[in-house]
Structure 1
Amino acid sequence: MLLVLSEEHKEHLGFLLQVESSVVNEFGRIALEFLRKGTNPKIYEGAARKLNVSSETIQHGVEGLTYLLTESSKLMISEIDFQDSILVLGFSEELNAVLLQLYLDNRKEIRSILTELAPKLPSYHSLEWRLDVQLASRSLRQQIKPVVTLKLHLTQNGNQTTQILQTDPATLLHLIQQLEQALGEMKTNHCRRIVRNIK
């Protein structure tokens, strides 16, 4: 699977052509710090003074490198795919080798950082349901409106929460059909390949 870079990212990464490979390694270290702790303008200003460029150029270079490393790690692309992905940038073989080594050395750590940054969503615990039907009414002689009430118990960080939902049977049937269609889609070869690459 190849990584597709936008023109903006290519432009940001183009700055790496102007610096030595040791500086690219330093940019890689700054990119990892950026992922761990967030942005630090002082680091950009210091690097900008050393290289005689604007701090904005340094920031864009680091952000471009961060994007390249995070997207590659997220998709767990192979060495060959990584090399093919950066081939369009027109870097020298030495710079390509430095970027590849940077990716190989840090992809597990980047994946662990990305997992920590992912939002902690509530998980399903149990479900209670009830069907309410008004059998007769003087004002509504022919219309019967059944309502399905769902009490959804969720668990998040050891705490249990409850969500109460109400719907009519037609909407519930449509929701069930959509979920079954999504589960059926997960059995296709295309989705299996994607899931295998994500893991």
Structure 2
Amino acid sequence: MLLVLSEDHKEHLSFLPKVDAPVVGEFGRIALEFLRRGTSPKIYEGAARKLCVPVEMVQHGVEGLMFLMTESSKHMISEVDFLDSVLVLDFREELNQMLLQLYQQHHSQIRSILSYLPSNLPAYHNLEWRLDVQLARRSVRQEVIPMLTMRLHLTRSDSCSVYSIRILQTDPSTLLHLISTLEAALVAMKTSNARRILRNIK
């Protein structure tokens, strides 16, 4: 899977090639610290004074780096996918490798931090299913198609109790077609052509 970076994120990260390698490493440390404890304007101001640049530039650089690391960790993207994702930034190879090293060193820790953050998205809790088959019917002579009924239980991330139930119904052939289509889409996402298209999406 490749990350699709918006123009704003590209602009925020464009500050990184203008600073030395140790500064990029320090930005990575600050980004991780902010994930743990929240942002601090004083740290932005101190870094801006040292680099003789506007505070907003430092803030955007750190936040852009934080977004890159959190999204990469959230989706557990591979080394190849990470490098392909940052190609659109046109960074020098040394900087790409440094960002990759930051990601590889801290992705487990970032995922652990993200698991404690509140989220409004529903989460899977349970799935119940039933196959309904009509064995005989005098008024219908042709074959009767069985139906699969599913009850999906969802929870909020901040609660263990079920807050939403969705009822889904389909016939087995449609379900098999949906599964095969999704599997084909996952295979297609790994092709070089799909990677090239994703890199060029703006």
In 2, the alpha carbon distance for the partners of 1:190 and 1:96 equals 31
Using the aligned pairs only, state the percent identity: 55
The Cα shift of 1:158 comes to 9.1
What is the identity, as a one-letter code, of the residue corresponding to 2:86?
Answer: I
In 2, the alpha carbon distance for the partners of 1:42 and 1:182 equals 55
Kindly report the root-mean-square deviation, in angstroms, between the aligned alpha carbons of the 2 structures. Answer: 3.6
The SS at the match of 1:88 is helix
Instruction: Decide whether the 8 Å contact of 1:48 with 1:54 is kept in 2.
Output: yes
Counterpart for residue 50 of structure 2 = 50
Unaligned runs of 5+ in 1: 125-151, 166-171, 194-199
Counterpart for residue 2 of structure 1 = 2
What is the identity, as a one-letter code, of the residue corresponding to 1:177?
Answer: Q
TM value normalised by structure 1: 0.65
Counterpart for residue 140 of structure 2 = none
What is the identity, as a one-letter code, of the residue corresponding to 2:100?
Answer: L
The Cα shift of 1:94 comes to 1.1
TM value normalised by structure 2: 0.64
* Counterpart mapping for 1:9-88 below 5 A: 9-88=9-88
In 1, the alpha carbon distance for the partners of 2:38 and 2:158 equals 25
Counterpart for residue 132 of structure 2 = none
Change (3 A) 1:87 1:38: same
Unaligned runs of 5+ in 2: 127-152, 188-202
The Cα shift of 1:177 comes to 2.2
In 1, the alpha carbon distance for the partners of 2:157 and 2:74 equals 25
In 1, the alpha carbon distance for the partners of 2:118 and 2:175 equals 23
With a CA cutoff of 8 Å and minimum separation of 6, indicate the structure with the bigger relative contact order. 2
1:177 corresponds to 2:152: no
How many pairs align?
159
The Cα shift of 1:97 comes to 1.1
Change (3 A) 1:156 1:22: closer
* Counterpart mapping for 1:127-166 below 5 A: none
